[in-house]
Amino acid sequence: MARTVRPTAFGTPEVLETVPTPVPRPAAGEVVVRVRAAGVNPIDWKLYSGAFHAVDDRHKDSAGVAGALPRLGLECAGVVTKVGPDVGPDTDADVGADVGAGVDDEAGAGANGVRVGDEVIVYPVTGAYADYVTAPVTSLIPKPAGLGWYEAGALMLAGTTAAHALDVTGVGPGDTVLVHGGSGGVGLMAVQLAVALGATVIATAAERNHGLLRGLGALPVSYGAGLLDRVRAAAPDGITAAIDCVGTDEALDTSVASVADRQRIASITGTDRRVTAGIKIIGNGPGQDAGADIRAAARAGLAAGAGKGELRVLIASVFPLSEAARAHRAGAAGHAPGKLVLVP
């Protein structure tokens, strides 16, 4: 048996429970991965909070009933333990003492080169809050040898979101980009990727995080009353693009007042005011730009950059899988910069 963390109802983290579940078997086009680290993201607790319950078709079950409880865990890293019938021999492999029973000598390579025993990053995926997860082979990215499990498990959701936001706003050399929430999971990625693209980066954060942002090549400013004045002082020649990873009215209003071209403002979170502002809204919500192709294409570069140490994946805290509720409380309360990670 394996373990899975799941919500028993909509609500706060108290509804999470860790239950025994069978080790899954891969269907056609799938593999099973032994999870070594699963990234924790704000969407994880939002999904069972009830916030999307009535408004989002994604949260209807297969019978079309609104509010089906979600499977948690949208990214992870781990070791391939089984490959599906059309990927290669369906093989139980002894890839580590924690894999459990079932050994077959004939660890196979699939048509796409995926082999039992491969160390992989898995994104996108659903259900990674578990000892084992099934994933389509298209969601596997080889884990660079130089990248730790925690970092590999927490890289992709934030990294691809940041890459998507920078892509749709066309950020490049010569730009001055305002990143709201520069010390958050997505913000830290947006800051680093924008600096690597040759842009000047102004990033908002609590003062305690300004040193970190300076170290990554950004000019930090504090959010709160007077933000627009501080942004103007930090960027006297103006802001050419903005990435909002916070979603407050203050962030939206500052972006709109700072950037002449609304199509060069991207928001990953916030209210419906964004729609009337005419800015780019990216994400998986109704009417939003999911950018699946852009995000899929970004994965290899993110993995390569992180593997070489050029792109830092900061880890704030690591929790045992069974303490997912504690991780969610920490995430919702605000925490040190970097990602929260669950380890089965």
Ligand X SMILES: NC(=O)c1ccc[n+]([C@@H]2O[C@H](COP(=O)([O-])OP(=O)(O)OC[C@H]3O[C@@H](n4cnc5c(N)ncnc54)[C@H](OP(=O)(O)O)[C@@H]3O)[C@@H](O)[C@H]2O)c1
What does the binding site for ligand X look like in residue numbers (CB under 6 A)?
41-43, 46, 157-158, 161, 180-181, 183-187, 204-206, 209, 223, 245-248, 268-269, 282-283, 331, 334
Give 25 or 232: the residue with its C-beta nearer to ligand X: 232
Give 114 or 158: the residue with its C-beta nearer to ligand X: 158
For residue 122, the SS3 value is: strand
Give 3 or 312: the residue with its C-beta nearer to ligand X: 312
CA 32 centroid distance within chain: 20
From 110, 130, 104, select the one nearest 44 (Cα to Cα): 130
What is the nearest approach in angstroms of ligand X to the Cβ of residue 75? 10
Give 95 or 190: the residue with its C-beta nearer to ligand X: 190
What is the nearest approach in angstroms of ligand X to the Cβ of residue 180? 6
What is the nearest approach in angstroms of ligand X to the Cβ of residue 297? 15
* Cα(305)–Cα(179) distance, integer angstroms: 20
The answer to whether the beta carbons of residues 29 and 137 sit under 8 Å apart is yes
What is the nearest approach in angstroms of ligand X to the Cβ of residue 130? 21
CB burial of residue 207 (10 Å; 0-12, 13-18, 19+): exposed
The residue at minimum Cβ distance from ligand X is 184
**Which H, E and C letters describe 55-78, residue by residue?**
CCHHHECCCCCECCCCCCCCCEEE
Give 84 or 283: the residue with its C-beta nearer to ligand X: 283
Give 19 or 263: the residue with its C-beta nearer to ligand X: 263
From 2, 86, 3, 13, select the one nearest 340 (Cα to Cα): 13
Give 99 or 186: the residue with its C-beta nearer to ligand X: 186
What is the nearest approach in angstroms of ligand X to the Cβ of residue 142? 23
Q: How far is CA 315 from CA 74, 257, 298, 338, in A?
A: 17, 34, 21, 5
Residue 219 φ then ψ, to 5°: -100, 110
* Cα(120)–Cα(76) distance, integer angstroms: 9
Q: Under 8 Å CB-to-CB from 33, ≥6 apart: which residues?
A: 76, 78, 79, 80, 81, 120, 122, 132, 133, 134, 135, 140
